[in-house]
Amino acid sequence: MTRAERIRALGLLAPAYLWLTVAVFLPLSAMAFFSLLTEVPFGEREWSFTIANYTEVFGNPVYATLLWKSLKLGFWVTFWCLVLGFPCAWILARMLKGRSREVLFLLVILPFWSNALVRIFSWAIVLRGNGVLDRAVNAVLPWDVNINLMFSEPAIIIGLVHSYLPYVILTTYLSLQAIDETLIEAARSLGARWPRILWRLVLPLALPGLIAGAVLVFVPVVGSFMEPRLLGGRFGTTYGTLIEDQFVAVFNWPLGAALSFILLAVVLVILAAASPALRKAAT
């Protein structure tokens, strides 16, 4: 690049860097700063620098247990989102045309547009004992069953899957959409049937979309707190609710900031560890 070109490129990139600074770098630095304090620096009380927040987290196994629980939650929600999202995306991309596709798209996007609290409380109505699900199942089955999923691990997973499924459907839809129909015809002309076409052709070609969807789901779910709190009740204490408590209930911002940073680090380590495999799969 010549000097003039370099200056021009810098000019074009400047807004992006400015945005990154304001939206990512500044808040993160503020959080990093807080996580190293003894007290929030706004009140009357004295404050000083310390790493006690981090030693506290590493010293107490409760935090690790909750983090592990949240990671498992992230795993299962991601898993179900992929399992449910792939067929939905397939139907959208390959089986429907015109009006019916638009309608289904609308249904997929709808959770995005509805208020999270409304969504979660609707699930509460469905899942609780003597709720919608319980009655529906009992109306169909001849014997009596008692279904009360409320305040349980499955309830949290159902709520989270519902909230995050659209990400997987949309990203997978995009990569399925791009698969050339003649590839499938070529495979059929060579004698391949659907299971093999799916496994050897469609799934590998859809993988970039599935991976993008998985990352988009996994990261926020590990830190989620609203669904666990409202649908999980007693079971709903997660790493995410723990962080939230530090900020809104016990006002221990430094500890909350330290917890957030550790979560960020763990998620980044997981993504980094997975990235060679992901990159290979995506090409």
Partner 1 sequence: MTEVRVEGLTKAYGPAKALDEVTLTFPDGGFFGLLGPSGSGKTTLLRAIAGFVTPDTGRIWLGDQAVERVPVEDREIGMVFQSYALFPNMTVAENVAFGLEVRRIPGPDRTRRVVEALDLVQLGGYGGRKPSELSGGQRQRVAMARAIVTRPRVLLLDEPLSALDRALRVDMQIELKRIQREVGITTIFVTHDQEEALTLSDRIGILRDGRLVREGTPRAVYDDPQDAFTARFLGEANVLTGLPEAGGLRLADGTLLPGVTTPAIALRPEALAFAVPPPDTPHRLQARLAQRIFSGATGTLVLDWQGQRLKLTASERDLLDLPAEGSPLWLHWPAAAALALRDAG
Question: Which residues are near partner 1 by CB under 8 A?
Answer: 180, 182-183, 185-193, 196, 200-201, 204-205
Rounded distance between C-alpha atoms, residue 239 and residue 260, angstroms? 9
Q: Bridge-partner residues for 37, per DSSP?
A: 49
**Nearest to partner 1 of 72, 196 (CB atom):** 196
CB within 8 A of 115, min separation 6: which ones? Answer: none
Contact at 8 Å (CB) between 188 and 197? yes
Q: Which long-range contacts (CB under 8 A, 24 or more apart) does 24-29 make?
A: none
Query: Taking the complex as a whole, how short is the minimal distance between the CB of residue 187 and partner 1, in angstroms?
Result: 7
Query: Taking the complex as a whole, how short is the minimal distance between the CB of residue 198 and partner 1, in angstroms?
Result: 13
For 26-51, give the DSSP string.
HHHHHHHHHHTBSS-TTSSS---B-S
Query: Taking the complex as a whole, how short is the minimal distance between the CB of residue 279 and partner 1, in angstroms?
Result: 14
**Nearest to partner 1 of 84, 205 (CB atom):** 205
Q: For the chain, first and last CA: distance in Å?
A: 29
**Nearest to partner 1 of 46, 180 (CB atom):** 180
∠ CA 264-119-101, nearest 5°, is: 95
Query: Taking the complex as a whole, how short is the minimal distance between the CB of residue 176 and partner 1, in angstroms?
Result: 14
**Nearest to partner 1 of 3, 280 (CB atom):** 280
Quote the radius of gyration of the chain (alpha carbons, Å): 23
Rounded distance between C-alpha atoms, residue 116 and residue 124, angstroms? 12
**Nearest to partner 1 of 115, 189 (CB atom):** 189
**Nearest to partner 1 of 6, 196 (CB atom):** 196
Query: Taking the complex as a whole, how short is the minimal distance between the CB of residue 216 and partner 1, in angstroms?
Result: 22
Query: Taking the complex as a whole, how short is the minimal distance between the CB of residue 13 and partner 1, in angstroms?
Result: 29
